[in-house]
Amino acid sequence: MSQVSGKAFDGKLLGRVLTYTRPYRGIFGLAIALTVVLSFLSVVRPMLIRHVVNNFIQVPVDAEQSLSLKSSLLMFTVLMMVLLLLESAMQFVNQYATSLIGQRIVRDLRTQLHKKILGFRSKYFDNTAIGTLVTRVVSDIEAINDVFTQGFIVIAGDLLTIIVYLGAMLYVNWQITLVVLTTIPVMFFATWVFKNAVKQSFTDVRNQVSRLNAFVQEHITGMKIVQVFNREKVELDRFREINKMHRDANVKSVWYYSVFFPIVEILVSVSLGLLVWFAGRQIFGHFAAPGDVAFFVLLINQFFRPIRMLADRVNTLQMGMVASERVFKILDQDEAIEDVGTRSAQDINGNICFSDLWFAYNNEDWVLKGISFEVKAGDTIALVGSTGSGKSSIINLLGRFYEFNKGEISIDGASIREYQLASLRKNIGVVLQDVFLFSGSVFSNITLDNPEISREEVIAAAKAVGAHDFIMRLPGGYDFDVRERGGMLSVGQRQLIAFIRVYVYNPRILVLDEATSSIDTESEILIQRATEVLTQGRTSVVIAHRLATIQNATTILVIDHGQIIESGSHRQLILQEGPYKRLFELQFKNE
C-alpha cells in the first residue's frame, strides 16, 4: 500500500496538476479574474452601509431634507441590491467555472491513467492489488477535483479577501481594528494546530479507503472460495477490523473539526464583544460614528469566515495533493512493454523459433532455462508437463506479456521485439483455461465491441466451431447477457465463446492454454471439434493435461523445471519409453 503523505503547498506537484488546465486557459483565466474581482467587491456593500448609516439614518431637520434623505436612501438601497445580485451572479459563474475545470481535468486525468494502466506489463498486476488501482482511478482522481473547486483558487481568493478586509478596516478606524483583531494571533495558532493535526488523519483516511477497496474487491471476486471453505466468519472478522480502522481514521478527523470550529466561534464572539465595548466608548467620545460600528459588525463575521475556512480549505488541498501524488506515482511507473518495433505482423506466415531462451519473474530465479524449439507455419506444437514446469510462461513470452531475459524469440526470422506490439498481439489468438467474459451480451463478448465485425460474421464463426446451437438456446440468443465474468454460462460454454472470439479475429498464430480442462464430456467433444477448425492452416501452440487431445500434434515438448526433457511426435515419444509414455499410460489407466 502506498503511504504517500503529500504536501499542501508542494509547488512542483501543484504545478504538475496545473499543467492539465492548459486546454482550458480561457475558463481558468475567467475563474481567477472573478476570484480577484469578488474579493474587492465583497467589501463594497459594507462600505455603502456605513455611508448610509452615517449620512442618511438621522432625524431630518425639515420636510425638504426628509424627502432628500429618503430619496438618497432609496437610491443606495437599490444600488446595494444591484451589487448583491451582481455579486451572486459572479459567484455562480465562478463556482461553475472552477467546477467545470475540475471535472474536465478529472476526465482527462482519468483517461490518461486508464490508458497508462492498459499498457502495463502483466508483472505489474501480479504485484499490485486491483482494489488499489480502482481507488486510484476513481476515488483519488475525484479528490483532485477538489483542488480546483475548493482548493488553491478558493484559498488564494480567501487570502486576498482577508487583505482587502484588513485594509478597509484600517481605513475606517485603525484603533477599533487593532482592538477587535487582538484575537487573530489565537485564531492563527488554533488554525495552525488544527491543520497539522488533521493532516495525518486525512492521509490515514486515504490509506484506509485504499485498503478497504482492495479487501472488498478481492473477497467479493473470491466469494465462492470463502463459502466453499466456510470462511465467512473469519473473513467477516477481518473485514470488521479493516472497517474499524477506516472508521477510526474518519472519527479522528471529525474530532479535530468538532474542537476547532467551536474555538473559532468563541473567538468571533470575543471580537464582537470587544467591538461593542471599545466602539461604544469611541462613539460617546465622538471618535467614531454609528456607521463605523455597523461596518465593523458586518465585516468581523466576513473577515473571520475565510480565516475559519482556511484550515479546512488547506486540508482539502492536502487531500488533493495526496491523491495527486498517488495518481502521478502510477503515471510515472515505467511498467509498459517497450514498443519500438516497426514491422507489421499482418502478413506473417507463423514460423516460430525459440533460441536458448532464459526467463525469470524475479531476479535470476529462472523459470525457463535454455528453451529452444521451432514450429513451422501451419504446424501444431503441444507443451506437456506438470504444474509450474514453465508451459504458461512460454506462451506469455510469445505474446510479449512478459519480457524474456536472455535468448531470442523470432517469428518468420525476425525478433518479436521488431514487431509493433499491437500488430503482434492482434495476430496471436489466445484461448485461456480461465476464460474471462465481461458483463454484456454474447455478441459484445465475441466482438469485444469491434465495429468492424458484423453479426453475420459472428454467426458464421459460431456455426464453424459448433457453438451456434447452444447460443440460440439461450434467452435472447446472441443478445443474452452473460453477466459479470460470464457467470450465467458454464465453463465449457465460456470456452466456446472464447473460440468464436479468436475465430472472428482470424489470427495467424493460435495459443490454447489448457482449453479442454475442467469441462464435461459433451463440451469437450464440441471444443475438440472447434480446436480442429481453429488450428487448420494456423501455427498452433497447445498446452494440455489431457494427452488424448494432442496426439495429432506435429511436435510434443515435455517440459520439466523450465527445461525441455523430451520432444517428438506422439508415436516417437511412446517408443522412447520416457516421461511422456509414463504420463500417457497413467492417464489412460485412470480414464
Element (DSSP H or E) covering residue 428 = strand 428-431
- Range 207-218 burial, b when 16+ CB lie within 10 A, else e: bbbbbbbbbebe
Residue 154's alpha-carbon distances to 265, 291, 312, in angstroms, are 21, 30, 11
Measured between alpha carbons, how far is 413 from 584 in angstroms, rounded to an integer?
Answer: 34
Pairing of strands 539-543, 509-513: parallel
Q: Which fold has domain 11-331?
A: ABC transporter transmembrane region fold (1.20.1560)
Which of 330, 500, 480 lies closest to 429 in space, CA to CA? 500
pLDDT of amino acid 60: 55
pTM of the model: 0.73
What pLDDT digit, counting tens, does each position of 334-367 carry?
Answer: 888 888 888 888 888 889 999 999 999 887 789 9
- Out of 272-286, 396-410, 451-465, pick the least confident: 272-286
Pairing of strands 509-513, 428-431: parallel
Q: For all residues of the chain together, what is the average pLDDT?
A: 83
Is the predicted pLDDT of residue 2 greater than 50, yes or no?
A: no
Measured between alpha carbons, how far is 34 from 154 in angstroms, rounded to an integer?
Answer: 11
What percent of the chain is predicted at pLDDT more than 70?
93
What pLDDT digit, counting tens, does each position of 39-55 carry?
Answer: 898 888 888 888 888 87
For the residues 125-139, what does the mean pLDDT come to? Answer: 80
The residue that leads in pLDDT, 9 or 483, is 483
Q: 352-438+509-590 sits in which CATH class?
A: alpha beta
Give me 24's grid cell. Answer: 482550458
Is the predicted pLDDT of residue 590 greater than 60, yes or no?
A: no
Counting Cα atoms < 13 Å in the Cβ hemisphere of 80 gives: 16
- Residue 519 — pLDDT band, cuts 50, 70, 90? low
Give me 210's grid cell. Answer: 485504499
- Out of 34-38, 297-301, 365-369, 484-488, pick the least confident: 484-488
Dihedral sign, Cα of residue 241, residue 242, residue 248, residue 254: negative
Is the predicted pLDDT of residue 530 greater than 70, yes or no?
A: yes
Is the predicted pLDDT of residue 17 greater than 90, yes or no?
A: no
Measured between alpha carbons, how far is 132 from 110 in angstroms, rounded to an integer?
Answer: 15
The residue that leads in pLDDT, 85 or 546, is 85
pLDDT of amino acid 431: 85
- Residue 1 — pLDDT band, cuts 50, 70, 90? very low
Highest mean pLDDT range out of 256-260, 313-317, 537-541, 584-588?
537-541
pLDDT of amino acid 6: 47
Q: Where along the chain do its domains lie?
A: 11-331, 352-438+509-590
Measured between alpha carbons, how far is 264 from 266 in angstroms, rounded to an integer?
Answer: 5
pLDDT of amino acid 515: 54
Is the predicted pLDDT of residue 174 greater than 70, yes or no?
A: yes
- Out of 85-99, 308-322, 569-583, pick the least confident: 308-322
Give me 366's grid cell. Answer: 529462472
For the residues 159-188, what does the mean pLDDT come to? Answer: 87
